[in-house]
Structure 1
Amino acid sequence: MPRCARLKSNDSIYHIMCKSISDTDLFRCDADKKVFMGYIKKYQEKYEFKVYAYCLMTNHVHLIIDSNGFDISKIMHSINQCYAQYFNRRYQRKGHLFHDRFKSIIVKDERYLLTLSAYIHNNPMAIKEYRECPERYEYSSLSVYLGIDHDKFETLDEGFILGLFGPNVKKARESYYKFVFSCKDNKIRKTIEFEDQPGEYRSDRTILRREYSPQDILSFLEENLGVERKLLYLKYRKESKEFRAIVVYLLRCFCGYSYSQICKIVGNITSARVAVLFNIGYELVNNDSKYKFILEKFLDNCENRDKKF
């Protein structure tokens, strides 16, 4: 029986749920949880999505992710595939790790978002030693929300939800604390799983536009790197390799193109090579002083869609 198409849009906020298969724990130790959070950080840097809350339990994960204009399926496929490969390699096992596809529910409005965050942050109460103090659980974002700990995984944007409680950070933390601990688990679960509300939550967030064309990308790079696009089709030259890598990175991130689609644009190249070039492009625009201005300038230009590159 075919699976139902996933309901999604690239400007939505999602409740993401990932669960391991029945006979396997998703995380066998704290080191595994740190690796999973590391993969979130890795792909957050590449795809520019936002994380509003998280909680990693023994056999499942809850996340609130703002896709920020990118495809949520590509985000989660990247994270989960890398973690499954790590897990199987570390524990010398084969086969699937995750139970079916990850589940994703579009966050519909502010009330749903707040209730969802409380539900996620109350998850550690299922663990005996955290039943009365879920804020002490290291692999939940609650401690960051309450100002007890810093964002050690460097992935969290807690300000968006806290901002719904007012502009004063201290008072917002206090209000959020009261809200989370006043929520009853059964009431939250009913709201999360069964309540049907129309529409989708978009608020006044700034969303990265991702519908640029290859022509936009190439014109921008020609102007700002001072090169001709024919360099894209030349091989065995360092400057050509770097140019191709940056093109691939921008096509992937800002056109939303798959590796196979990029193959057709670049020409005479495999999907595996595109994946390699994507990683090279990521390193160049984030770490190479020669190219670090590219991403910032491209994002600045993106603020006005009609501006000519």
Structure 2
Amino acid sequence: MPKEPRPYHMHNPEGMYFVTCTVVFWLDVFIRAKYKEVFVESLKFCCQHKGLQVHAWCLMTSHAHLILSAKDPETTNLAGVLRDFKKYTAQQIIREIESTLLESRRDWLLDKFEFAAKSNSRNTTYQFWQQNNHALELTSNNFMDQKLQYIHENSVKEGWVEEPEHYLYSSARDYAGLNGLVPITFIE
């Protein structure tokens, strides 16, 4: 009898997935420009060098929503790229938090990351991201459209902007014909 795929995992190498990367305890980390920059530059690197295709994204204060796929499913392990992305961004952001005197929440944040790591045997000192990405394969146009709209409306629902394309840290800009921060492979 074939083994059932685990829910919320990237089991189809050719699939397109909606994922959410969430900071432990939903901590509002991405309120500082430097941390946002680490996220964006790392995402761009994965697109340029690791075979990642980003179809949509939006960075919020405590999490990010993305629609992703592999450029070449034969050579790119999408789950592996996402794992490496999260590991690298966690290390870089924690390094930034530790090294800057301008982070007023430094001790508090590091304490929370240390506490989260204690309940996870995979971590030694700190845990930045929650382990689960809640990956959902987009198997229909309707589901894809729903998730694309959801991602792009996040900043509007938060009251940060009146129109999705006005939010800098989102692919809504690209879909509106403006220059975005991350290379996008449009959903047709």
Provide the TM-score with structure 2 as the length reference.
0.75
User: Equivalent residue of 1:28, what SS?
Assistant: coil
Query: Which structure 2 residues correspond to residues 283-302 of structure 1 after superposition, within 5 A?
Result: none
Question: How big is the shift at 1:78?
Answer: 1.0
For structure 1, the 5+ residue unaligned runs are 164-309
> Counterpart in 2 of 1:156?
184
Deviation, 1:54, is: 0.5
Structure 2 residue 70 is matched with structure 1 residue 67: yes
Point out the structure with max Rg over C-alpha: 1
* Structure (1 or 2) with the greater strand fraction: 2
RMSD: 1.8
Higher relative contact order (CA 8 A, sep 6+): 2
Which residue of the other structure, out of 80, 88, 101, is the alignment partner of 2:86?
A: 80
Q: Which runs of 4+ in 1 moved over 4 A?
A: none
Partner letter of residue 28 of structure 1?
Answer: I
Q: How far did 1:28 drift?
A: 3.0
Query: Counting helix residues as a fraction of each chain, which structure ranks higher?
Result: 1
- Work out whether residues 122 and 134 of structure 1, in 8 Å CA contact, stay in contact via their aligned partners in 2: yes
Deviation, structure 1 residue 127: 2.4
| C-alpha contact 1:54 1:120 (8 A) present in aligned 2 | yes
What number of residue pairs does the alignment pair up?
Answer: 154
1:240-262, Cα deviation, whole Å (9 max, x unpaired): xxxxxxxxxxxxxxxxxxxxxxx
Pairwise mapping of residues 251-262 of structure 1 onto structure 2 (< 5 A)? none
Query: 1:118 aligns to what?
Result: 149
Deviation at 1:43, TM superposition (A): 1.8
What is the aligned counterpart of 2:164 among 114, 128, 134?
A: 134
CA shift at 1:37, angstroms? 1.3
Shift of 1:23: 6.0
Deviations 1:215-249 (A, max 9, x none): xxxxxxxxxxxxxxxxxxxxxxxxxxxxxxxxxxx
Q: Deviations over 1:52-99 (max 9, x none)?
A: 100000001000111230222111111110110011111123511112
Mapping 1:274-285, distance limit 5 Å: none
The one-letter code matched in structure 2 to 1:126 is K
Unaligned runs of 5+ in 2: 1-5, 99-109, 115-125
Letter in 2 for 1:101: N
d(CA) in 2 for partners of 1:32, 1:20? 12
> Normalising by the residue count of structure 1, what TM-score does the alignment of the two structures yield?
0.47
- Equivalent AA in structure 2 for residue 109 of structure 1: S
